[in-house]
Amino acid sequence: MRVRKVANAPVSFGVFELSDAPPPLTADEMVRALTEAGYEGIDLGPVGYLGTPDDLAERLGGLWLAGGWADLRYSDAEEFRRGLPALDATLDVFAAAPVGPLPPRPTLGESGVPERFARPGGNAPGLPASEWPGYAARVQEAVDRCRARGFEPVFHHHLGTYVETPDEVERLLELTDVQLCLDTGHLLLAGGDPVTALRAWAGRIGHVHVKDGDTKILAQALAEGVDLRELMGRGGFAPLGEGELDLPAVVRALDEIDYSGWVIVEQDTLPGRRTVAQNIADQAANRRMLKDLGL
């Protein structure tokens, strides 16, 4: 029987990393807001935000852990090795999560590539062909490392990295056996069609991030020479229904391919660009919209 659950993520509230500045809201406040909005799960966010392995279960407050980001620099062998302890630390937190109706999926991503971060959307040179075998081998090593800990990871294509465009996603899928975290917003802004991708990659999709995107904001950002971070701050990833994503068609495609797994709503934003109250209202509205579509 198909099991499908809907989650949200700290990035929707501007929480990307822990630094000297406090997050715009506490983890407890976020968990409470998402629970009240009807979400069933939450992504991990930066390690430590939702607590430690010792207190994670309590801090989840009844939500299930859906996934969590772990990036590595796959294009640089030495940097990749230096990043593996951070992946292990993320998996330690996963191992402490309560067993739910769906397992959490480690979400493997690449650390941003400066040239591509500056010109997101496939507008900067990609990985040279000669470097793809090494890149893919390191991705596969990270996948196998997760599997050795009992987790089935997914790889997240992402603006500002070497796996950004549909062709680059295809290349990675050819060279590895990793499942894909299909992110509708990142694919849309990288020139892809999320509905077509859901159908084409159905057999490899293990996680879905539902995110809207606005190519007009992307075009303006490129014209003004601002980077991916500022694109997010300007609303390049819009509230559901306010961008160009055909959300009803996405939901229909999920049904067509009989997708089972987590559907994670994300609306990447920066701290301070929207108030906490606005972010909470956005995520409640996003959840209502998906409920209206039967998800």
DSSP state letter for 273: T
Task: Say what the pLDDT of residue 16 is.
Answer: 86
Kindly give, in sequence order, each residue whose CB lies less than 8 Å from that of residue 148, ignoring residues fewer than 6 positions away.
none
Number of domains in the chain: 1
Residue 277 has pLDDT above 90, yes or no: yes
φ, ψ of residue 205 to 5 degrees: the values are -85, 120
For the segment 134-145, the average pLDDT, to the nearest whole number, is: 98
Q: Which domain holds residue 260?
A: 4-293
Residues 42 and 8: their CA atoms lie apart, in Å, by 5
Residue 21 has pLDDT above 80, yes or no: no
CATH number for position 236: 3.20.20.150
Instruction: Give yes or no for a contact between 146 and 94, defined as CB atoms under 8 angstroms apart.
Output: no
Task: Say what the pLDDT of residue 271 is.
Answer: 86
Which residue matches tokens 């407890």? 28
Residues 261 and 249: their CA atoms lie apart, in Å, by 18
φ, ψ of residue 292 to 5 degrees: the values are -60, -25
pLDDT range class, residue 18, cuts 50, 70, 90: confident
Q: Which two tokens stand for residue 184?
A: 């509708």
Task: Say what the pLDDT of residue 51 is.
Answer: 86
Residue 38 has pLDDT above 90, yes or no: yes
Look at residue 290 and give its three-state secondary structure: helix
Judged by phi (left if over 0) then psi (alpha if -120 to 50, else beta), residue 82 lies in: alpha
98 forms beta bridges with none
Beta strands of the chain (E only): which ranges? 4-8, 41-43, 64-72, 105-110, 154-156, 179-183, 205-210, 261-265
Model confidence, pTM: 0.96
Sign of CA dihedral 244, 158, 57, 275: negative
Look at residue 260 and give its three-state secondary structure: coil
Task: Say what the pLDDT of residue 273 is.
Answer: 86
Residue 154 has pLDDT above 90, yes or no: yes
Question: What one-letter code names the amino acid at 65?
Answer: L
pLDDT range class, residue 20, cuts 50, 70, 90: low
Task: Say what the pLDDT of residue 161 is.
Answer: 97
For the segment 164-173, the average pLDDT, to the nearest whole number, is: 98
Q: What percent of the chain has pLDDT over 70?
A: 99
The 10s digit of each residue's pLDDT in 56-66 is 999 999 999 99
